[in-house]
Amino acid sequence: MTTLEQTIRPAARSSEWKAIVVLILLIPVLWSPPFLVRFFLYQPFNIPSGSMTPTLVVGDYVFAAKYAYGYGRYSFPFAPSWISGRILAAAPEYGDIVVFRTPKDISVDYVKRVVGLPGDRVQMRGGQLFLNDRAVTRVALKEVFAGAACGGDDEAKAKRWRETLPSGASYVTYDCVDNGFLDNTSVYTVPPGHFFVLGDNRDNSTDSRMMSAFGFVPMDNLVGKVTRIFWSLDENGDPHMERLGKVQ
């Protein structure tokens, strides 16, 4: 045995034993119910912007069901980049509120509503959503003071619409500006393996209408389906209890 071998081998054994001890100590944590729930079932997220107002607002904390669409590269933290595809894969449905990463920026989790599935033709005309050349049903509701959701002016009002997709999914959208920048678009044909998303706050949402900055979202980039608001704080940091519950 050379001198070099004598100096290296004890250190290697020491490192191996340290790794084994660390793994043994981590076993209770890795198999603890809170860890398993967060890792495989539900992951919490907070809402930092008003792009999904009025459904989700700044200060909301939501659970995303990770099992809803199966598991892929973005389902788990620190997953290696070479992972592709999904295990137990399932496609989102019209109206689902989903958490995902975009091909343009895989470092950020986004939350939007699915309005287009593979093969669909999606277009905005005069602020109204068209799906496969048919106007999506919408009913006008009473205008409200929107504040920050429409740019921060306390006197700003938003038109509200109850929009109902062909699947029956129904929800309320905000319309802050007539003939806004994204109120009239070309026709987007959703490619295979992708979906099309919009924010419910239609004039203040970066979403699939902006092809150069956002675009279609690959199914493989799904993280989970938003199912419930479990906590909410208003602009003063006080609990917003009336917002707790399931989301539409």
Q: How far apart are CA 70 and CA 83, in angstroms?
A: 14
Catalytic residue among 49, 51, 205, 232: 51
Active site residue 15: no
Closest residue by Cα to residue 35 from 88, 76, 71: 76
Closest CA to 108 of 194, 36, 213: 213
- 140 burial via Cβ count (<10 Å: 0-12, 13-18, 19+): exposed
Q: Which residue in 66, 112, 159, 225 is the catalytic one?
A: 112
Question: Is 51 labeled as catalytic in the residue annotation?
Answer: yes
Distance between CA 192 and CA 190 in Å, rounded? Answer: 7
CB within 8 Å of 129: residues ≥ 6 apart: 115, 122, 123, 135, 136, 138, 163, 198
Q: Which helix (H) or strand (E) holds 147?
A: none
Residue 215 near residue 102 (C-beta atoms within 8 A): yes
Supply the residues annotated as catalytic: 51, 112
